[in-house]
Structure 1
Amino acid sequence: MTIQILLSAAFLAAVLWLGFRVPAAEGGAPQRRPLFGLPAAPVFCTVLAAALVLRLILGYSINGFDADIACFKAWGYYTHEVGFSGMYYSDFFLDYPPGYLYLLYLTEFFRRLFFIPDYAQGATLLVKIVPILSDIGTAAIVWAFARKKLGENGALFVSAAYLFCPAVIINSAVWGQADSFCALLLLWTALLLWRNHTPAAALVYGLGVLSKPQMLIFAPMLIFWVIRRRDWKNLILGPVIALAAILVLSAPFIRDWDFTKLIDLYTGTMDYYAYYTINAYNIWALFGLNWAALPESSVWLQFGVPLAVLLSGILMLKAKRKEALFACPAVLMFTVYIFCVKMHERYLYPVLLSLLLTYVFTKDRRFLVSFAGTSFFHFLNVAYVLYLNNAYIEPTAPQILLLSLAHILMYGYTLYAVWRVFLAKKAPAPLNLPRREKPVSGGKAAPSGAPDSPLLTAEGRSVRFTRTDVFLVCAVTLAYGLVAFWNLGDRQTANTTWTPENGESVIFSTEDAYSEIYFLPGIAPADDGVGQRVGVSMLVEVSDDGETWTTALDNTEGSVYAWKSAAALATGKYIRITPTCDDLAINEFALKKADGTGFATLTAVRGEASALTDEQNVVPLFPSYMNSTYFDEIYHARTAYEHILGLEPYENTHPTLGKLIISAGIRLFGMNPFGWRFTGTLFGVLMLPILYHLLKRLFGSTFLCTAGTVLFAFDFMHYVQTRIATIDTYAVFFILLMYDAILVFLQTDLMADGWKKILPPLFLSGLFMGLGVASKWTVAYGAVGLAVLFFGKLVFTYRALGLSSLSARKRDETQAAFWQRALKTCLWCCLFFILIPFSVYFAAFLPLTLLPHNRYDVLGRFFAYQTHMYNYHSTLQATHTFESPWYQWPFDVRNVWYYGNYNADGAGGLRTISVLGSPLFWWAGVPAMVYAFVSTVKKRALPAVIAAVGFLAVYLPWVLVPRCTFVYHYFTAVPFLLIALLSAYSRLCGSPRLQNPIFSRTVRGHVVALTAGQSAMLAFLALHLILFAVFYPVLTGTLTTQDYANALEWLPTWFFA
């Protein structure tokens, strides 16, 4: 669920952010701006194709709700077997009206035409193809009308918002429900009414009612529209046409013209679920009545229906604008959903399209906000129900109550928007944040800041990426990416697991001579479905006659997905393997030939042992990091896989998000070394453009930004730490993002800039902070630095107001404006830096708290995990050979030896992996950081301030940590070390001597010069890259010799082999 929640939250943020940036039409004339310099139609078709491909992939790979999919398949099957006339007279469950059965008939026709088995995924996709194509058709219609109202950019935005809305996708492509098709018919009906084609609208509406009974809810929309237009003829004709369409199309399903069968079907459908609410998180769910049985007399509980009719009547008949037509479905269905009983979770679906369409025709962003918020909570509701898959959940569970309250609040906001836009006496202007706020007083903007106020500087505000910047950052990122992914790990390993009972043995025979025993410890769900089998204790015995057995290996050690080899203490024709523990899990077993050229051929003699020898082709002749876990991968990669298996993770001493991100790579590439290291390496690559952007805003110099990015990319720590499947990578990644975002905020004018410019970077900084803390608690240290920078910004803003030079009246007005702006900003920050991060953090734990044994006490288990993590870290007394105290880290005193294999090729070759910092970079960073501290105090230069504050925030807390620590804990400080180094370099290059050009040439009319300072940096970079090449074998596990590795141990505390 966590990935789904994060994706839906990202969609919510994207819609709100883009919705207030994409210009809406003003004064009735749509703005037609070019789309990337391309014609509008091809761009939209590309978006449409991408949405279709996404839906086809999801529809094929995810079964959806098994019971519903099975019904759709069966109904399609029976339309061919018993015919239309036998559908309602046969002995099987059927609660859908005839309209949708026509479509299921077609899907079954194509299934049979292409000989697709009904159990195949292709058959599941065919069932979903109607709602999938309905999504595409709906988006195309919305786009066509939005072009006339909002222009090309606005039309592309709203159609993409619908196409990629998680709530829309999960309904059609995942669940495969008919709601999308009915929403298309509802859209068609509304647009026909809008164009005054009432008879045609009635016909389409009749098709909708014939497809799903819930379409009856929208009848007041047609009735009140006709009354509003005083079209009395169509008030009679419309129902006749709709009824005629229903009767004609249902006739093939009815025998002897007995249409009472149809009436019984509709009334029976509404009476079938006699519960207050069926997973619809509304007002009844808020009272703890989810799946609670209704009393015998429950007619009065349907008060939501007359309330919905009343509200829609007021809207349609009293509205000053006829665009109220498009808001009417939202009012109707939202009211029914919130207050009526017998509601299902999916019934809210049409509200989304109605709100989006209302935004298109009114251009009022209140409806966009309502669409974004409602779709977010509706998705959580539907996704949670699909995730539970009929599992029982306590009706008073906090997640149900919170989502119910959220739906009610969004309902209230939607009614407020409808009232303000359509019914208020004075119709307000569309909600649209201004590009520039009014001056704070007296018609003059407040001063933007004094020159000595680094947190007010406008430097970076006008910085734009040039083509050179884009080329260089792409080139560095690509070059590093190739180096980083080179020899990252094998794409294949053994994955089928042998899980015998204790004492259950298997026997193999072989005719080959062998000398070593190989096996791969695996992982499998335990019998309780919660824990895991990870035992490695087993006895390997050999015999020449199958009667007398000799021990060849008595194993008690091993790590998950790390190949282990051991010399056979004895050999024989027969090999017997017997578990000596209750939870043995072995993925593969092999015997290395005595000549070392391959593996013996094993033939099963007794017992079920296929899982032990079915993947002999992936057994490595020489185990190494390429095919095995190493260091903390034995915990973090394993935990990521346990999340995929739905098990209680063994490693729960850190928050979950980092391991969930690792699991994404495993889902993509499988449980193999490349899969579990992929996302960490990818995030290490993605750090580079983020760092470049941050440096660009700080220094503005393309040369300096490129140099800094290269330094960081090929720092030993960055390279090694992002290639191992641990969670430190994600901590650094999100720290970079949250400081990059806060820097954008620092470079705004707090008094003159509008909220549109001030709030987004704060929101992003808080969001990234939440994601970072959900990956590793150390990111919380960096959050202290964000607070220092934020309040420093307020202090310097106040000091820059120049109050002493103002009159008493102006001084009071300016002070009042400042405190008002500061208070509002702080209130927003409570949302951005407290509520949102906590929500993200809480969501990251849902894969744990929603496990079957936890879901009955989600909050209790959540806090129990926090207590466990805190107790672990605060009471840890362990020691380690390669631990190092905090004060040694900046000087690169002690490395951590991650991996070593002294006979990696069978001929004495060495493979070794160590993590440490690049000595040239780190040692130069020490005086540079001292300079940053001094510059912060004396000159208050912004780069130095960021370097000093960020460095102290992530580094100083380690002074108080009593547990054993390692140099890789310094990784979070390395970006700030880099900023300090570049800041010091920039200061030194300000001297005339270093500004003198030592090389100059004119190229195409432009003078290209190289200064002494630039040449010094290039020399520094060259030496840095040379050191990377020299140390490469001991950083990567590349085959080398022990003598070479020992020669690189420059300090007596370094150890590589």
Structure 2
Amino acid sequence: MKPTKGKNKEIIWMILISLAAFVLRYMFRDVISNDMRNCLLPWYEMIAGMDLRTALTTQVGNYNFLYQLLIYFLTLLPGEAMMKYKMLSVLFDFLLAGGVWLFLRDIYGQRKAIAGYAAVLFLPTVWLNSAAWGQCDSMYAAMIIWAMYFLHRNRICTSFAFLGVAFAIKLQTIFIIPFYGFLFLDGLIQKKGKIRIYHFLIIPAAMIATAIPNLFCGRPVWDMISVYSSQTVEYDSITKNYPSVWNLWKLSYHADKWWCIGVTALILMGLLYWFCLKKADMRKRHFLWCAFLLTYTCVLFLPAMHERYGFLYEIIAVLLAFCTGCGWIIAFSVQLVNMKTYFAYLYGTPQNMELLSICNLAIYLFSIYAFHREMEGRPIEMEILRREENTEGGTDRIRSASTMVISSLDRKAMAALTFLFLVFGSMHLGQMKAPVTAAQVGKETEAGTDVLVSLRQKQKVHSICIYSKMAPKDPITVYYAKDGKWEPIGKDLTLGGVFTWKEIVADVETHQFCVIFSAGKDEIAEIACMDEEGKRIPLIPSGTPKELFDEQECIPEIPNGFYSMTFDEVYHGRTAYEFLHGMPIYENTHPPLGKSIISVGIAIFGMNPFGYRIASLIFGALCIPVMYLIALRICGRSDYAVLGTVLQITEFMHYTLSRIATIDIFVAFFVICLFYGLIAFLQEERLRYLVMSGAAFALGVATKWTALYTVPAVAVILLGWMAVRMQMRERSMAPFRWGDSLRGAGPFRFIGICLACFAAAPALVYALSYIPFARVYEGQNIFQHAVSNSIHMLNYHEGALKPHPYSSPWYTWLFDWIPLVDFRTSFQGVKSSISTFVNPLVCYAGLAAVAHHIYLAYKKNMTAVVLLIFYLAMLLPWVMISRTVFIYQYFICTKVLIVMILHSIRNLGFVKEKKVLCLTGGLSAAFFILYFPVISGVAASELYINEILKILPMWKF
């Protein structure tokens, strides 16, 4: 019998999901945990040196017979030991997801089953456990989920057999035993139970069956029990990195463990009484609720729990999420809590265990309350996510082309939202005053190498700060006066920056410093000293050179990003200053237009942080109305346009890159203008939109070569659209016409117009952008500069392979894995940080929207096709580029993600659509407020930043 069409679709989706899940795990193949290094690999080496009989009769490590047998078989296979461990665990990840798929397929059908399969495979604690940690929790959990599946289908013996195999793998299977025991007792009470006492005997029978090879080789059966009994005495802490309730009380494991076990037993019995009192349907309707709560209770209240012991109830929570709306809240919350403990172990990230325990207890109590509502017939429903039937693939604004009307309300909304961004963007943007007067010091200067810094009186000095105008990475030496002698401060000190305050921590008591500039010539503008409270210390104004002590008010406190250049500002901001003053040009690895734009702000406001950042802020604000118009065209409604703009305003990377003097915000603006023109042309077929796109493309290429990545997208979209129109012409035998402004334009003329817009005009603008080069270097004209510098840029980027602590491969951008820290300083428990990364809501909702758009494209939704082409065009080049890259190179993709999120919401057809829009915007704004300190440079508590904001391990703000 041939499989049905629906069956084929299901298989295809599961294959695609499995491939994506495997790729995700492959990314973490090189992570070596302490468990892998100190336990699993040594056990492997010991077993590898044994013959079969010795390996099956000798206890190695603290795992039971079955796992040790599997390790022995691994030693017979080729390959690296760590990879084989991880592949074994990954295999059981898929078996675990398969159990969830079967469970949901029986109850809810194909669609939810596939979603559950994907949810388990992409659950962070699942793939971290196997692919990063190399642990085997998915092995016993998979057996338990299969056991629960067969139990739900009343195949009792099969269920207990799987339970026995799970016990043979890990003792943590005991967490599900209360559920089986309660089902047995409930059956006795209700006189309807199918579980009998003898069924529990299947568990040891199955365990012994898995140990037959060991027993045959002479291993005593008692060893199966002794292995687990030794595990229970091995760990002597009341908790082992799991956020149990006992973290809130400092109990002693040896004195209180039996009391904790007794409390757990009482709570379990209380739950049984409650279930019976409320007549919970443990066998069917409340099957998953009871399994989840009982398992959760065991892990939360038993002593000596590890962070991985929550693995089982996390999987049951996913199953529960498909049964009840509030289950998603529970599943998401337990993931957040347990991820923090995973990352603490794997990556050493800080955590506040008491806070995590409070959160864990709150989730548990919420689960109890939710189940109470469920049994009362008043379940907590996620009505906001309820959808209309037969809506997917329906909204296609490009296919139903129309002229867009911008109402007065739209204009007011754009103006208000742009103003709102300018208000928040200008907050702590940068000081409007920086040292101007400067002196040249060093071996080749009249001032010489030594500069004396004299205080008015002897006092404690926390640090000495030096503002260099042009002194990149030049060495200096600092001494302080002590008892008539000079004592050195620090070793191998360098200035390391331009137009930047360099802070040198001293923490000494003195009345005078001597700073020695040992380079040939450094241009220094100011030197200041800071006290223990971070405030400036008055100096004797008669120091020489006097230019170094005449603008002390420019640094009232410990310097941060508000007072100095950060990250690549030292290239782009500096070069803009050089453009303005006709100086030799330092940064020539990108086209000049972006630096020319920055120089306008410097010309108006001076060479200070505000002056070289204001242009970025203005262009960041200009992105707001463009995003509004794109959203209005894609979705056709003002409320969607408002949401798109809110997502843009609260997107972290947009906020950060709009407030620093780099060129990424300029090229992003030009690219989204190009995108808007392209969408408008597809809808209205007017020449002016092609010209607009071409002009934006020209300016983008003259700013940064990233704009060139749009070329394949533009070519594919326009040629595809032309082919469709020609096909329509052939069918209708009508003359070829595109629109009023392109009347009579045949395909060859249309191609000529496109070449003029996207080739000839950009080439001219690109050459004109080199006017600043021609001013300084008169030996070549602008065209020669454009060619020679482009060759230089190509060679530079091909060789930019030097590792960087914040570099990140392209695939990590999809998960917001490694932020770029532009600036970071801390003082007395307070930290100031400016970090570039994506708003988590935009990142992860956008990733889901990409998957949804693949489906919509399959359903022939042309808007989805266009969005996917543009997204992939901006992402895929980075897959093939081998140079060192950073997350800000994903910036333009995030703008497409925002549009995809809007389009997905529009196509999903939510019944309470307005509330979904409000919820989406509200969550994005909440993330923005929460993370504002680490994207704005505003000082905040180190405790808050380290223990609350650091969710992912590489978020090193």
> Taking structure 1 as reference, are residues 593 and 813 closer, same or farther at Cα in structure 2, changes over 3 Å only?
closer
Identify which of 758, 762, 765 aligns with 2:690: 762
Q: 2:519 aligns with which of 572, 581, 586?
A: 581
8 Å CA contact 2:417–2:645 kept in 1: the answer is: yes
After superposition, the Cα gap between the structure-2 partners of 1:885 and 1:541, relative to the gap in structure 1 and judged at 3 Å, is closer
Superposed, 1:317-716 pairs within 5 Å as: 457=399, 459-461=401-403, 463-502=404-443, 504=448, 505-507=450-452, 509-514=454-459, 515-523=461-469, 534=472, 536-541=474-479, 551=488, 555-568=493-506, 575-593=513-531, 597-604=535-542, 609-716=545-652
Contact 1:521 1:534 in 2 (8 A): no
**How far apart, in 2, do the equivalents of 1:911 and 1:534 lie?**
23
Deviation, 1:747, is: 2.1
Per the TM alignment, residue 550 of structure 1 is displaced from its structure 2 partner at its CA by: 5.2
1:945 to 865, 873, 888: 865
Match of 2:887 among 944, 963, 967: 967
TM-score (norm 1): 0.50
Aligned-pair distance for 1:597?
4.8
1:659-685 alpha-carbon deviations (Å, 9 max, x no partner): 111111111211111111111111111
Is the partner of 2:855 in helix, strand or coil?
helix
1:723 CA drift (Å): 1.6
Q: Kindly state the Cα deviation for residue 585 of structure 1 after the two structures are TM-superposed.
A: 1.1
1:917–1:556 CA distance, 2 compared to 1 (3 A):
closer
In the TM superposition, residue 575 of structure 1 has moved relative to its aligned partner by 4.8
Unaligned runs of 5+ in 2: 1-392
1:338 alignment counterpart:
none
How far 1:491 sits from its partner (Å)? Answer: 1.1
The offset of 1:519, in angstroms, is 3.6
Does the CA-based 8 Å contact 1:508-1:604 persist in structure 2?
A: no
Alignment check: 8 A CA contact 2:627 2:672 kept: yes
Alpha-carbon distance between aligned partners in 1 of 2:758 and 2:426, rounded to the nearest angstrom? 35
Equivalent-residue separation in structure 1 for 2:617 and 2:528 (angstroms): 31
Identify if the C-alpha distance between structure 1 residues 593 and 458 changes in structure 2 by more than 3 Å, giving closer, same or farther.
closer
Corresponding position of 2:904: 984
- Determine whether 1:846 maps to 2:766: no
User: Which amino acid in structure 1 is aligned with residue 408 of structure 2?
Assistant: R
The yes-or-no answer on 1:1041 pairing with 2:941 is yes
Relative to 1, partners in 2 of residues 1:455 and 1:593: Cα closer, same or farther, differing over 3 Å? closer
How has the CA–CA distance of structure 1 residues 842 and 1046 changed in structure 2, closer, same or farther, with 3 Å as cutoff? same
Distance (Å, rounded) in 2 between the aligned partners of 1:499 and 1:980 = 54
For the Cα contact (< 8 Å) 1:691–1:709, is it kept in 2?
yes
Partners of 2:770 and 2:736 in 1: how far apart?
A: 49
2:666 to 718, 730, 735: 730
Q: Is the 8 A contact 1:911 1:1039 kept in 2?
A: yes
Deviation at 1:714, TM superposition (A): 0.5
Partner of 2:925: 1025
Looking at structure 2, the residues matched to 1052 and 767 of structure 1 have their Cα atoms a distance apart, in angstroms, of 40
2:944 partner letter: Y
Alpha-carbon distance in structure 1 between the residues aligned to 2:575 and 2:558 = 26
Structure 1 residues 673 and 778: alpha-carbon distance in aligned structure 2, compared to 1, 3 A threshold: same
Structure 2 CA distance for aligned equivalents of residues 813 and 489 of structure 1? 53
Q: Secondary structure of the equivalent of 2:830?
A: coil
Matching residue of 1:895: 819
Q: Is the 8 A contact 1:895 1:914 kept in 2?
A: yes
Q: What is the rounded CA distance, in whole Å, between the counterparts of 1:978 and 1:855 in structure 2?
A: 47
Which whole-Å CA distance do the structure 1 matches of 2:532 and 2:632 have between them? 60
Cα shift at 1:619: 2.1
Cα deviation per residue 1:98-152 (whole Å; 9 max; x = unaligned)? xxxxxxxxxxxxxxxxxxxxxxxxxxxxxxxxxxxxxxxxxxxxxxxxxxxxxxx
Task: Tell me, in whole angstroms, the C-alpha distance in 2 between the residues paired with 1:573 and 1:1019.
Answer: 59
Native 8 Å contact 2:573 2:598 kept in 1: yes
In structure 1, the partner of 2:789 is: 865
- One-letter amino acid matched to 1:653: T
**Matches of 1:805 and 1:617 in 2, distance apart?**
76
> 1:621: how far off?
1.9
1:913 and 2:829 aligned: no
Contact 1:507 1:576 in 2 (8 A): yes
Deviation at 1:596?
Answer: 5.8
Displacement of 1:798: 0.5
- Equivalent pair of 1:535/1:584 in contact (CA under 8 Å): no
- The 3 A distance-change label for structure 1 pair 599 and 811 is closer
TM-score by length of 2: 0.55
Kindly report which structure 2 residues correspond to 1:60-79, keeping only aligned pairs within 5 A, or say none: none
User: In structure 2, do the counterparts of structure 1 residues 1014 and 597 end up closer, same or farther at CA, with 3 Å as the change threshold?
Assistant: closer
Alpha-carbon distance in 2 for matches of 1:658, 1:1035:
22
Report whether the alignment pairs 1:956 with 2:876: yes
Asked if 1 retains the 8 angstrom alpha-carbon contact of 2:670 and 2:697, the reply is yes
- Please give the secondary structure, in 2, of the residue aligned with 1:800: helix
Shift of 1:563: 1.2
Are 1:770 and 1:837, in contact at CA under 8 Å, matched by a contact in 2? yes
Aligned to 2:47: none
Q: How far is 1:777 from its partner?
A: 0.7
CA shift, 1:774, in A, is 1.2
Residue 923 (structure 1) aligned with residue 844 (structure 2): yes
Amino acid at match of 2:418: T
CA distance 1:931–1:602, shift in 2 (3 Å)? same
Task: Evaluate the alpha carbon distance shift between residue 948 and residue 566 of structure 1 in structure 2; reply closer, same or farther with a 3 A threshold.
Answer: same
Q: CA deviation at 1:631?
A: 1.7
Distance in 2 separating the partners of 1:501 and 1:1027: 49
- Structure 1 residue 838: deviation in Å? 0.8
Q: 1:775 aligns with which of 703, 710, 720?
A: 703
SS of equivalent residue, structure 2 residue 441: coil
Shifted more, 661-670 versus 930-939: the winner is 930-939
User: CA-to-partner distance for each residue in 1:67-125, whole Å, 9 max, x for gaps?
Assistant: xxxxxxxxxxxxxxxxxxxxxxxxxxxxxxxxxxxxxxxxxxxxxxxxxxxxxxxxxxx
CA distance in 2, matches of 1:1016, 1:858: 53
Specify whether residues 657 and 948 from structure 1 end up closer, same or farther in structure 2 by C-alpha distance, changes over 3 A only: same
Which ranges in structure 1 are unaligned for 5 or more consecutive residues?
1-450, 525-532, 750-756, 996-1011
Q: In the TM superposition, what is the alpha-carbon distance from 1:745 to its structure 2 partner?
A: 1.8
Distance 1:537 1:885, change over 3 A: closer
Q: 1:836 corresponds to which residue?
A: 761
Decide whether aligned partners of structure 1 residues 781 and 623 sit closer, same or farther in structure 2, where only a CA change above 3 A counts: same
Q: What SS is found at the alignment partner of 2:931?
A: helix
Q: Separation in 2 of the partners of 1:687 and 1:790?
A: 24
Alignment root-mean-square deviation, CA? 3.0
Task: Give the partner amino acid of 1:841.
Answer: Y
What is the Cα deviation at residue 687 of structure 1? Answer: 0.3
Q: Any idea what the Cα deviations from partners look like across 1:502-538, whole Å, max 9, x if unmatched?
A: 26145454432252553434336xxxxxxxx656434
1:535·1:585 contact (CA, 8 Å) conserved in 2? no
Deviation at 1:1048, TM superposition (A): 3.6
- 8 Å Cα contact 2:464/2:506 also seen in 1: no
**Count of equivalent residues:** 556
Aligned in 2, Cα 1:1049/1:591: closer, same or farther, shift over 3 Å? closer
| 2:466–2:528 CA contact under 8 A, matched in 1 | no
- Residues 657 and 836 of structure 1: CA distance in aligned 2, closer, same or farther (over 3 Å): same
